[in-house]
């Protein structure tokens, strides 16, 4: 967790279109220090992970001291491409609208949030092929 001056981050992804965790999604964590804001100024790569079978990333590194903003980048396109290749209805029947050929209307999701020292940030992603929602969890 935290030593009082650093912050920590965790995340999980739930595929709401099937009611199951989204495993195997690549996640990147970037940070930006105090005194920088707006645009992409000052972003530094900080860690990578992949969601487990329960849709969770449990191994993201603690944020460096002085971090003011963090960004989680979820590469969800390959997840949907894999899922859809295994989920085609029998007989070619389509039960719901299909995402574009790449597997998802939103193939990438980037979430930026403000950071306070000593806090833990759990950032769940609720995902489906045509949209997503995110919130600060606990």
Residue the block writes with tokens 């590194």: 61
Residue 28: inside a domain = yes
Residue 116: inside a domain = yes
Quote the strand ranges of 51-84, DSSP E. 56-57, 67-75
How confident is the model over 96-132, as pLDDT tens digits? 555 555 568 999 999 999 999 999 999 999 999 999 9
Residue the block writes with tokens 């495993």: 23
Q: Are 5 and 65 in contact (CB under 8 A)?
A: yes
How confident is the model over 54-63, as pLDDT tens digits? 999 999 999 9
CATH of the domain at 44: 2.60.40.180
Alpha helices in 29-110 (DSSP H): 77-86
Domain count, the chain: 1
Residue 72: inside a domain = yes
How confident is the model over 49-92, as pLDDT tens digits? 999 999 999 999 999 999 999 999 999 999 999 887 765 555 54
Kindly state the DSSP code that residue 77 receives in the 8-state scheme. Answer: H
Residue 3: inside a domain = no
Range of the domain at 81: 8-89+99-134
Residue the block writes with tokens 């969601």: 51
- How much is the pTM? 0.82
Residue 80: inside a domain = yes
Q: Are 107 and 127 in contact (CB under 8 A)?
A: no
Kindly state the DSSP code that residue 90 receives in the 8-state scheme. Answer: G
Q: Are 19 and 130 in contact (CB under 8 A)?
A: no
């Amino acid at each position: 967790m935290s030593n009082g001056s650093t912050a920590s981050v965790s995340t999980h992804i739930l595929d709401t279109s099937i009611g199951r965790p989204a495993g195997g999604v690549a996640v990147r964590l970037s940070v930006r220090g105090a005194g920088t804001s707006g645009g992409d100024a000052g972003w530094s790569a900080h860690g990578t992970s992949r969601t487990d079978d329960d849709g969770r990333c449990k191994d993201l590194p603690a944020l460096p001291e002085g971090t003011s903003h963090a960004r989680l980048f979820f590469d969800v396109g390959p997840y949907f491409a894999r899922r859809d290749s295994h989920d085609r209805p029998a007989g070619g029947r389509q039960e719901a609208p299909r995402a574009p050929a790449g597997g998802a209307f939103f193939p990438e999701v980037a979430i930026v949030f403000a950071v306070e020292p000593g806090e833990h940030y759990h950032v769940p992603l609720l995902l489906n092929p045509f949209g997503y929602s995110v919130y600060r969890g606990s």
